[in-house]
Structure 1
């Protein structure tokens, strides 16, 4: 390969890599433009007359066991922050449930396919069986898990993408 061809190929690879990295605003090179999801949200909100904007989170996820989830949720800013806005106090318990390293590990393991209490108890670093059941009850009581019968647990389908969004938002 000639030097010019090699340089051109390297430039193309660098441009492709730069286009897929996240910038300081949190955008990625996925989609039709840097703000493709944002532009779609703004069009939707304009159609609804939501002058103060809104929030959107969405995802298309395939978990290691093969399950697929597609989910999206949008909410106008006024419903979150306005005078008639939602009470944030009812969010404390579900968020607190995620605030323990063992619970986060349990959720990760369950999403990865370890679904029974017996499988989870075999893992190092999660504590005793009683402690594991305590954490599973906390996660179930706040909606992050639900029992699927015979000692099995799963993350409800409507919680998979939101869980991953919360974890993404918590990245340093």
Structure 2
């Protein structure tokens, strides 16, 4: 490997690649690697699209496409401008966030997403506690909208909550 291959592209080279990308995008061609970006930066394609659509002061976008082991498929996207988010009443989300603030409830949600949906089957899980504790946690998750009762003793994560739940979990890992 020569030293030349390690050098950053010149401004002229970067501009030429940028012009090529714009031309390809306008023609509807295949996407190309971002100008002057490493492979890691190429992972920011969603951010680049958001910035194109929402100039300063910006916005926050959550989006996802999910295939669950149960065969269910969900696609979801929601975004808000920075001004909307900062100006909103943040206390409105407190109950939904509080319902997720217990390890047993997070485990319950994961088990339901994986296909364990009945209270009888959930009750067999050694980490979910007694039946009284299980019902307490199920009620909390239903009240906050993270679970929905689908019949006698059967629960599901509402479709409109699947991607937001996974997005929150990803955000909490940071």
TM band (smaller chain): 0.7 to 0.9
Is structure 2 residue 115 aligned with structure 1 residue 113? yes
In structure 2, C-alpha distance between the alignment counterparts of 1:42 and 1:90, rounded to whole Å? 27
Aligned counterparts of 1:35 and 1:128: Cα–Cα separation in 2? 45
Encode CA deviations 1:67-120: one digit per residue, 9 max, x unaligned: 111111111000011xxx210011111111111010000000000000011110
Query: Which protein is richer in helix relative to its size?
Result: 2
Alignment-derived partner of residue 154 in structure 1: 156
In the alignment, structure 2 segments of 5+ residues that lack a partner are 1-37
State the Cα distance separating 1:29 from its structure 2 match. Answer: 5.5
Aligned positions, number: 137
Match in the other structure for 1:66: 71
Equivalents in 1 of 2:150, 2:52: separation in Å? 39
- Structure of greater Rg: 2
Q: Which residue number corresponds to residue 102 of structure 2?
A: 100
**CA deviation string 1:37-67 (max 9, x = no partner):** 0111122224xxxx31000111111111111
Q: What TM-score does the superposition give when structure 2 sets the normalisation length?
A: 0.74
Taking the aligned partners of 2:64 and 2:74, their CA distance within structure 1 comes to 8
Q: CA RMSD in A?
A: 1.8
TM-score (norm 1): 0.75
Q: Which runs of 5+ in 1 are unaligned?
A: 1-26
| Superposed structure 1 runs of 4+ greater than 6 Å apart | none
